[in-house]
Amino acid sequence: MVSPSRSNKEQSVVTPLPDDALLRARAGDPAAFSSIYRSLSPGVLGYFAGRGSDDPEALTQEVFLTVFSKLDSVSGGFQGLRTFAYSVAHARYVDEVRKRTRAPVLVGYEADGDTRLTDSAERVALGNLGVGGARGMLDQLNAEQRDVLLLRIVAELPIEQVAEILGRSAGSVKQLQRRGLLKLKEIVRPEESETP
């Protein structure tokens, strides 16, 4: 295939398509494929560029791969081929837009470029804990509760593995976890644990 990235002078010239090009392409004539591509690709490329496609040249190539693989199903001569090519182009563009919508471009966080006047949530949370704050809270639990919470929450191990590591039953691990979390809640929010 001829690359659609040509000089502006070449792109503005649309090659007329011979009447028998579609028939010859169906028969596998490489010159006919090239003729079809030269005739239709500038318009398809322009369509993608005008719609703001991320990679109009790649989409143009995809369109013609599809068009050439389905030439036997095209009817209506050159106009039918042209309509089919733009139908495929539109479908590819819609697919690209859907893909962009589902997977938006993520931009990394750069601390040097952060111009906010307030601290981030992370900085506030870490500041509230203070140095050793989390460790100090964990030290208020009994050793078994602390081990279970560290293995379950920090190490993200399933209950069965924690039970095996600690030599306990799964039910006992669940109870230790529940009691440890309740104790931490009392430490963090003592006003909620007080009964009237």
pLDDT tens-digit series, residues 142-185: 989 988 888 887 777 889 988 988 899 999 999 999 999 898 88
pLDDT at 5: 47
Domain boundaries, the chain: 8-102, 130-190
Which of 36-50, 79-93, 125-139, 181-195 has the lowest average pLDDT? 125-139
- Is the full-model pTM beyond 0.75? no
Q: Which is higher by pLDDT, 86 or 52?
A: 86
- Domains 8-102 and 130-190 fall in the same CATH topology: no
What average pLDDT does the segment 131-145 reach? 76
Whether domain 8-102 has CATH 3.40.50.2300: no
pLDDT at 1: 47
pLDDT tens-digit series, residues 71-124: 988 888 888 888 899 989 999 998 998 888 887 666 777 777 767 666 655 565
Q: Identify the sign of the CA torsion 20, 24, 27, 33.
A: negative
pLDDT tens-digit series, residues 1-40: 444 444 444 444 556 677 788 888 999 989 989 999 999 9
pLDDT at 82: 86
pLDDT at 9: 45
pLDDT at 125: 52
CATH number of 130-190: 1.10.10.10
pLDDT at 6: 46
